[in-house]
Amino acid sequence: MHNKSFSADGQASIVGGRNVGNEYFGATDGVVFADLDVLAIGPAVLAIEQDFDRYWNHVAAYPVDQVAHPVAPGALEGLRRSGQALVQSPAAQDYRQALEAPPFVQHLLQAQLPMDWAVAHLVSDPPEKILGQAPSTALIGEQLRRAIGTPTQSLDLVSPYFVPTAAGVQAFAQLRAQGLRVRILTNALEATDVAIVHSGYAKYRKPLLQAGIALYEKRGAPPDYAKDGDRLRRQLTALGSSGSSLHAKTFAVDGQRAFVGSFNFDPRSLQLNPEMGLMIESPRLAQQTSHSFDQTIPALAYRVSLNAQGQRRRQSRAGV
């Protein structure tokens, strides 16, 4: 399973690429992931909860007591004591202060968060994909193709684990041949946490560039980044993050609609991992993604290009 959702009381859901772990919430001195989520209310929440239920009730889902050993007596009380000590630690107090500082969090706590009212369609793999029993027409790749329609102006894609395959390169090249602007952001080798995925992507860089695709690679963090007290505050600005590894998965089509979810543009997400996300009919959200490519991403990523001899080169605003 690679799909991610968090729903409360049938009233609100969070969907995106974020896992539940310290490194995904800026609470570690190691690799910090820059992620992206959406908070949804309204009819989309019912669809997300129904999707959760079909996984929860599926034959491939086992109660944990069937696969895990019982804990020793007193273990839970020890865990509580450890948790209480952690909450009272100086590091936890610093983290809480940093977490509460952004205006977004304050608006959320005060029930003053501005919402972007838009139609949102859930796209989700069936749980049968885990067992290799889902028809290809039901998989998320086909669902996304139907939801996207035919782009006419632009495609802006963010995928931390990006392995387009020859078919994907051909599809992007065809869009460019039709006059569309295509921009892609993924991780540079120094920023990725899965080097083997980068090796799968690297062989497609040159044909993508030859086709006219604008290609960016997220730079790694500066050496003193993990010691920076403002780390979390900056990381909470999704695509404008200085986080050491990109983890957000999103794309915008024609500046009119956008996808946010768990789906990477790679064969694993297409064929193996169950994935999910929201396709949102929101010009505001789509244009925020496009604006990131115009303003923020060039400051945080290498622009990859080919020189006159056809050799690959990388440039940043710092000239590196």
What pLDDT was estimated at residue 230?
A: 47
Residue 89 lies in a domain: no
Name, in order, each residue with C-beta under 8 angstroms of 224's C-beta and a sequence gap of 6 or more.
none
**Tens of pLDDT along the chain (320 residues)?**
999 999 999 999 999 999 999 889 888 877 889 899 999 999 999 999 999 999 999 999 999 989 998 888 889 999 999 999 999 999 999 999 988 888 988 898 898 988 999 999 999 999 999 999 999 999 999 999 988 888 999 999 999 999 999 999 999 999 999 999 999 999 999 999 888 999 999 999 999 999 999 999 999 865 444 444 344 334 434 454 445 899 999 999 999 999 999 999 999 999 999 999 999 999 999 999 999 999 999 989 999 999 988 889 998 875 44
What pLDDT was estimated at residue 56?
A: 96
Residue 307 lies in a domain: yes
Sort strands 12-16 and 37-41 into parallel, antiparallel or unpaired.
Answer: antiparallel
What pLDDT was estimated at residue 32?
A: 85
Active site positions, annotated: 2, 4, 9, 247, 249, 254
Query: Phi, psi at residue 79, to the nearest 5°?
Result: -65, -40
What pLDDT was estimated at residue 310?
A: 87
Supply 76's token pair: 């839970």
Residue 68 lies in a domain: no
As for how many domains the chain has, the answer is 1
Q: Considering the entire predicted model, what is its pTM?
A: 0.90
DSSP labels for 197-230? HHHHHHTTHHHHHHTT-EEEEEPPPPTTGGG-TT
| Plot region of 123 (φ>0 → left; ψ -120 to 50 → alpha; else → beta) | beta
Residue 72 carries which DSSP code? Answer: P
Residue 79 lies in a domain: no
CATH number of the domain bearing residue 153:
3.30.870.10
Is residue 277 within 8 A of residue 284, CB to CB? The reply is no
Residue 81 lies in a domain: no
DSSP labels for 80-133? HHHHHHHHTSHHHHHHHHHHH-SHHHHHHHTT-------EEEEEE--GGGGGT-
Domain that holds residue 125: 5-61+116-315
Residue 109 lies in a domain: no
What pLDDT was estimated at residue 243?
A: 56
Is residue 26 within 8 A of residue 226, CB to CB? The reply is no
Residue 271 carries which DSSP code? Answer: I
- Give the whole-angstrom CA distance, residue 217 versus residue 97: 32
Residue 238 lies in a domain: yes
Burial of 320 (0-12, 13-18, 19+ CB in 10 A): exposed
Q: Is 61 helix (H, G, I), strand (E, B) or coil?
A: coil
pLDDT, tens digit, 9 for 90 and up, residues 185-210: 999 999 998 889 999 999 999 999 99
For 11, other C-beta atoms within 10 Å of its C-beta total 9
Residue 74 lies in a domain: no
What pLDDT was estimated at residue 234?
A: 44
What pLDDT was estimated at residue 48?
A: 98
111: amino acid identity, one letter: A
Supply 307's token pair: 């020189």
What pLDDT was estimated at residue 318?
A: 57
Q: Is 22 helix (H, G, I), strand (E, B) or coil?
A: helix
Supply 159's token pair: 């995928």
What pLDDT was estimated at residue 74?
A: 87
Is residue 226 within 8 A of residue 197, CB to CB? The reply is no
Residue with tokens 């839970």: 76
